[in-house]
Amino acid sequence: MRQQVFNPYLPSWEYIPDGEPHVFGDRVYVYGSHDSFNAPIFCTGNYMCWSAPVDDLSDWRNEGVIFRKNQDPKNKLGLRLLFAPDVCQGPDGRYYLYYAFDFMGIMGVAVSNAPAGPYEFLGHVHYKDGTIWGRRKGDQFPFDPGVLADDDGRIWLYSGFYTPTPAIVTGFKKLKNDGGVVVELEQDMVTIKTEPKLLFPKEGPGSFPNHEFFEASSIRKDNGKYIFVYSSRHNHELCYAVSDKPNDGFVYGGTLVDQGDMFLNGNEDESKALNYLGNTHGGMLKIGDQWYIFYHRQTNRHSYSRQACAEKLVRNPDGSFQQAEVTSCGLNDGPLKAEGRYEARIACNLWSKNGVGRYDSSSPRKRLADHPYFTQTGKDREENGDQYIANMQDGAVAGFKYFQFDGPKKILVELGGTADGQMEVSDNPEFQNVTSIPVSLKGGIASFGSRLDVGAGVKPLYFRFVGTGAVDFHAFELQDFHIN
């Protein structure tokens, strides 16, 4: 890689959730929804695409807008919102973009001659008689498309949502929400060839106990095995199931990643999560023998300004995957260097003195007013804005994983706010080995420093504010320590 890469792996001003990564040619393309900073609802923007060379996942390029909301004839005014998309290359060599407008209950398709578009509207997924899927009584609710162009030429489209959607939202009554379904499409990529089949019931026989299907269908194929990724009813984890067939026989595999490292090392207590929880969505990527899982995190104390993250996956000899730990280094070639300046926005762990909370429940901003959170200066899309951790009150912790240390360092912390106390730094979340940095802030941003010795090797860093007031954590810097 030409440079180090962090989580989130896109620029600090970019808010791309629901990222689906695909390799086309010699580049990785990520297709996702498009949130805005401090937005009032999900997915306020048009579809963007970002890409990187397969041999350098630090070098992300903005491909720009690839499909606009008002290109669909059923959304000429652009009032409906583009939720999570997916893309495949069809048998004709063209690229097909599948999308659903928020809770409208229909699924659209756009087509392009190039992976990064621009895409042009093709049609709505429909039955052979022309009836749009989602407009027939008893249809399963079309939502969160995941699409696979199989190597035998067949096209499989996956969909599903857990929560029943009121008719007032869809404009159509009596749609089902039984779980995850699959349909086979004709070669025209928009006509349903086989009736929708329930593959992943959200409850009862055939469901996956404690990890039942919720949303976020995503499908991959590897060495004859179909790997289905989805978000469970917990809403903050991505799980997977495997089958020898695209439309039957899926067996639960486990958790791939969870925003708060829930289910890792047996932790099922949300009060002990290592980060704030909310919805997540993503997909798997394979480059050579290395697998990755892409997902998103929440910012700004709500679920409407989400950012793209990714982690490396470890695959066991039997083909199963180990759950990935949420980290700051993500796509990087190993741990980060224990030198240079790092923005606090790359923290992978964040909690208050009283633990964490969920961003997908009622009034999170008010309810979590005393908690730390990621935010930014300026307005949406200001490329020179400063993203940081705000409101670190007494006992709040920010954790970063991992760094390669070779010995003692000098550490500087860049802080803002109004506060008196100390910033404690440790290589463990229990703060058993602590470096204390005195802090006195009267507004503005200032730097404070100390010697840091956590030994040599791969280490995390945890920062805890102890004192009065509230600290805004902007950045920290690691320098070689020299005795004068």
pLDDT per position as a tens digit, 410-463:
999 999 999 999 999 999 999 998 999 999 999 999 999 999 999 999 999 999
Task: Tell me how far apart the alpha carbons of residues 146 and 283 are, in angstroms, rounded to a whole number.
Answer: 9
462 and 429 Cβ atoms separated by less than 8 Å: yes
The single-letter code of the amino acid at 257 is V
pLDDT at 168: 46
Question: What's residue 484's pLDDT?
Answer: 56
| 215 touches 162 (CB < 8 A) | yes
CATH number for region 20-334: 2.115.10.20
- Taking residues 29-50, report their average pLDDT: 95
In sequence order, what are the beta bridge partners of 163? none
Tell me the two tokens of residue 90. 């069809």
Q: What is the mean pLDDT of residues 368-382?
A: 91
**Cβ-proximal residues to 288 (8 Å cutoff; 6+ apart), any chain:** none
Residues 6+ apart with CB under 8 A from 362: none
For domain 342-480, give the CATH number: 2.60.120.260
Whether 482 has a pLDDT exceeding 90, the answer reads no
Query: Token digits for 379?
Result: 């307005």
| pLDDT for the residue numbered 379 | 87
305, 379 Cβ separation under 8 angstroms: no
At 324, which amino acid appears? A
Total count of residues recorded for the chain: 484
Which value, to the nearest 10 degrees, does the dihedral of the CA atoms of residues 370, 372, 378, 381 take? -130
Quick one: tokens of 450?
């100390």
CB 39 within 8 A of CB 33: no
64: Cα within 13 Å, side-chain hemisphere:
3
Two tokens at 441? 């802030």
Q: Indicate the pairing of strand 397-406 with strand 336-337.
A: parallel
Backbone angles phi, psi at 443, to 5 degrees: 110, 160
Please tell me which residue in 86, 144, 215, 414 is annotated as part of the active site.
Answer: 215
Q: Which of 397, 455, 447, 443 is nearest to 424 (CA)?
A: 397
What distance in Å separates the CA atoms of residue 282 and residue 303, rounded to the nearest whole number? 15
Q: How far apart are CA 89 and CA 40, in angstroms?
A: 34
The predicted structure's pLDDT at residue 360: 77
pLDDT at 382: 80
Q: In what order do the strands lie in the sheet with 47-53?
A: 20-24, 27-31, 47-53, 61-67
- The whole-angstrom separation of Cα 74 and Cα 450 is 60
The CA-to-CA distance between both ends of the chain, in Å, stands at 36
Rounded mean pLDDT of 298-309? 95
Encode pLDDT of 53-82 as tens digits.
999 999 999 999 999 999 999 999 999 999
Which among 18, 20, 258, 386 is annotated as catalytic?
18
- Using the CB atoms, write b or e for 169-207: b if 16+ within 10 Å: ebebeebbebbbbbbbbeeebbbbbeebebbbbbeeeeb
Query: How is the chain split into domains, by residue range?
Result: 20-334, 342-480
What is the reported pLDDT for 137?
87
Contacts of residue 69, Cβ cutoff 8 Å, sequence gap at least 6: 46, 75, 78, 80, 81, 82, 101
pLDDT of residue 383: 78
CA angle, 462 as apex, 427 and 292 as ends, to 5°? 90
Burial (CB count within 10 angstroms: exposed 0-12, middle 13-18, buried 19+), residue 441:
buried
Residue type (1 letter), 248: D
Question: Alpha-carbon distance 72 to 102, whole Å?
Answer: 13
Mean pLDDT of the chain: 95
Predicted confidence (pLDDT) per residue in 212-260, tens digit: 999 999 999 999 999 999 999 999 999 999 999 999 999 999 999 999 9
Percentage of the chain exceeding pLDDT 90: 89
Q: What is the pLDDT of residue 483?
A: 61
- Residue 310 · residue 325 · CB < 8 Å: no
Q: Please confirm, yes or no, whether 18 is among the known catalytic residues.
A: yes
pLDDT at 384: 72
Percent of the chain clearing pLDDT 70 (strictly above): 97
Element (H, E) at 114: none
Strands 155-160 and 179-185: antiparallel
Amino acid (one-letter) located at 375: T
In the residue annotation, 55 being an active-site residue is answered as: no
Q: How many helices (H) and strands (E) does the chain have?
A: 2, 28
Do residues 407 and 456 make contact, with C-beta atoms less than 8 angstroms apart?
yes
If you search the block for the tokens 């030994």, which residue do you land on? 455
